[in-house]
């Protein structure tokens, strides 16, 4: 049995989770890819909930646990796996001592991260880092990085090598990375690991700190977005004709113009006391153009440019020659071509589409401007939380040991209950996926400079 997700604790899955396997990139023939927990405690160990009607999960292999409890699974309808079974033998983990690996490398050269928006490259020789935030792309060129503290990377991570973190690890990567047979990373974290969508808010804020004009655009965009979200997300507004006096049309239109451009027209019917607002128009477009002019050569910034421009479409003026219904139908059916969506909704009475738009606008928070992608092996002595359409091409291993953190990992989520993970637990949420690449992971550390670890066994082996 092939198991790219192996833990000593609970495995919690939500939404359209997929776990699949391929022989290799060159030969993408399907192979089994399963899930296993070594936990033998009583109660629910492996769970899945689709959260909404019609959502399914697909696991191409078996879902198993070593527990002999009578009911170790809590799986809702819509879960698809080749088998679900308890009482299986425990599986072995690689033997890895992260604390020792970091300690014995304390005399290495010190990594100095580049300013926000730039690329931090680790090459030539192994390096150490005291810990902190890297706002931009991180590239390893066949070397190791040893972090004596927490590590947060708010950008893409690529290349080949290993990262040892003697604390908690947070990766917020972009979706521009691509699979290859040669580039892979190995992450070894003594603390908890969090994989989430690209933190666009932190990225933009870091640029704003050094550029006053950009800061003005950024603050105006966030304020306008918050105002639109508050108005559009209120169910009492769904049946209103926003284009009539006495409703919310002016506030929505002003905020829309701040984000997407196009001067807001005067109210209808005319208001003799109306004064045209002084707005910073098209802030999303201005920020995208600024980032493209100054940082376009880097993966993270290319991604955020694209994301800003796509989000701007929602708030731009409706293009001439396009009907309202064409825009609404494209949005409702999940297709492109809904430029001017909020402009259309703001002038008409489309309660169903307004409700959908409210949900969509809620997802346009700047801290959700991307998805995370990681290719390689992730090993942690803590809990592992992956959400917001994270894609992992490789394997996840969460093992509780005597070195594991005593404090649980607690993650708050917009509109959903928070998640608390103990060491050895894994949460795979929000459409996240694992692709087991058999060729890459038969010798999982071959593409990485693994340093002082001992790999005694690997996926699918039992004690």
Residue 162 inside a domain? The answer is no
Token pair of 443 as six digits:
């010798």
Residue 330 inside a domain? The answer is yes
Together in a domain, 402 and 327: no
Q: Please tell me the distance from the alpha carbon of residue 124 to that of residue 207, in angstroms, as a whole number.
A: 29
pTM for the predicted model, two decimal places: 0.66
- Residue 332: which residues within 8 A CB-CB, separation 6 or more? 352, 353, 356
Together in a domain, 342 and 210: yes
- For the chain, what is the mean pLDDT? 78
Q: How many domains in the chain?
A: 2
Residue 334 inside a domain? The answer is yes
pLDDT at 242: 47
- Residue 294: which residues within 8 A CB-CB, separation 6 or more? 117
Residue 147 inside a domain? The answer is no
Pair 383, 426: CB distance under 8 Å: yes
pLDDT digits (tens, 9 = 90+) for 123-141: 999 999 999 998 877 888 8
Residue 146 inside a domain? The answer is no
- Residue 61: which residues within 8 A CB-CB, separation 6 or more? 1, 2, 3, 19, 21, 32, 33, 34, 35, 81, 82, 83
Residue 128 inside a domain? The answer is no
pLDDT category of residue 62 using cuts at 50, 70 and 90? very high
Together in a domain, 223 and 351: yes
Together in a domain, 212 and 235: yes
Together in a domain, 340 and 400: no
Q: Which residues of 92-102 are buried (b: 16+ CB within 10 A; e: fewer)?
A: bbbebbbeebb
pLDDT digits (tens, 9 = 90+) for 249-258: 567 778 888 9
Residue 117 inside a domain? The answer is no
**Could you give the C-alpha distances from 331 to 321, 328, 336, 385, in angstroms and in order?**
17, 5, 7, 31
Residue 277 inside a domain? The answer is yes
Neighbours of 456 (CB within 10 A): 11
Do the bridges between strand 416-421 and strand 409-413 make them parallel or antiparallel, or are there none, so unpaired? Answer: antiparallel
Would you call the peptide bond into 269 cis, given omega within 30 degrees of 0 as the criterion? yes
pLDDT digits (tens, 9 = 90+) for 137-179: 788 888 899 999 999 988 777 778 889 999 999 987 643 333 3
**Could you give the C-alpha distances from 402 to 37, 165, 190, 405, in angstroms and in order?**
18, 16, 11, 9
Token pair of 297 as six digits:
């050569």
Together in a domain, 398 and 433: yes
Pair 63, 428: CB distance under 8 Å: no
- Phi then psi for residue 92, to 5 deg, are -90, 145
- Phi then psi for residue 344, to 5 deg, are -65, -50
Q: Evaluate if residue 278 carries a pLDDT over 60.
A: yes
3-state secondary structure of 382: coil
Q: Please tell me the distance from the alpha carbon of residue 349 to that of residue 249, in angstroms, as a whole number.
A: 12
Query: Whole domain around residue 26: which residue ranges?
Result: 1-105+172-197+373-463
Together in a domain, 207 and 83: no
pLDDT at 200: 63
Together in a domain, 209 and 323: yes
pLDDT at 181: 47
């Amino acid at each position: 049995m092939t198991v790219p997700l192996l833990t000593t604790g609970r495995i919690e899955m939500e939404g359209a989770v997929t776990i699949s396997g391929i022989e290799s990139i060159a030969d993408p023939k399907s192979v089994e890819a399963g899930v296993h927990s070594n936990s033998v405690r009583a109660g629910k160990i492996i769970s899945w909930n689709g959260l909404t009607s019609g959502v399914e999960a697909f696991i191409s292999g078996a879902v198993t646990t070593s527990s002999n409890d009578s009911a170790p699974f809590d799986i809702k309808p819509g879960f698809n796996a080749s088998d679900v079974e308890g009482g299986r033998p425990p599986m072995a983990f690689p033997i890895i001592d992260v604390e020792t690996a970091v300690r014995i490398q304390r005399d290495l050269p010190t990594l100095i991260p580049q300013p926000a928006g730039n690329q931090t490259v680790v090459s030539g020789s192994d390096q150490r880092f005291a810990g902190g935030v890297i706002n931009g792309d991180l590239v390893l060129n066949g070397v190791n990085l040893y972090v004596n503290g927490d590590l947060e990377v708010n950008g893409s991570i690529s290349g080949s090598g290993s990262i040892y973190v003697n604390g908690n690890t947070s990766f917020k990567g972009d979706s521009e990375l691509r699979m290859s047979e040669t580039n892979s990373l190995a992450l070894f974290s003594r603390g908890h690991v969090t994989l989430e969508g690209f933190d666009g808010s932190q990225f933009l804020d870091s640029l704003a700190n050094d550029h006053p004009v950009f800061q003005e655009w950024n603050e105006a965009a966030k304020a306008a977005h918050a105002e639109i979200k508050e108005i559009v997300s209120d169910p009492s507004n769904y049946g209103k004709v926003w284009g009539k006096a006495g409703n919310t049309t002016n506030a929505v239109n002003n905020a829309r113009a701040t984000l997407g451009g196009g001067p807001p027209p005067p109210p209808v019917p005319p208001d003799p006391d109306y004064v045209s607002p002084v707005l910073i128009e098209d802030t999303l477009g201005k920020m995208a153009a600024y980032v493209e002019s100054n940082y376009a050569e880097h993966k993270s910034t290319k991604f955020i440019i694209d994301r800003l421009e796509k989000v701007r479409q929602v708030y731009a003026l409706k293009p001439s020659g396009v009907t309202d219904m064409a825009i609404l139908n494209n949005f409702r059916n999940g297709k492109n071509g809904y430029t001017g969506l909020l402009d259309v909704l703001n002038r008409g009475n489309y309660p169903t589409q307004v409700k959908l738009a409210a949900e969509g606008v809620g997802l346009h928070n700047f801290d959700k401007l991307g998805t995370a992608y990681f290719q390689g092996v992730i090993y942690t002595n803590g809990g592992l939380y992956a959400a917001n359409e994270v894609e992992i091409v490789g394997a996840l291993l969460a093992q509780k040991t005597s070195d594991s953190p005593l404090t649980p990992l607690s993650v708050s989520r917009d509109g959903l209950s928070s998640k608390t993970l103990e060491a050895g637990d894994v949460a795979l949420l929000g459409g996240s996926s694992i692709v087991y690449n058999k060729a890459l992971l038969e010798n999982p550390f071959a593409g990485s400079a693994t340093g002082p670890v001992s790999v005694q066994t690997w996926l699918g082996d039992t004690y």
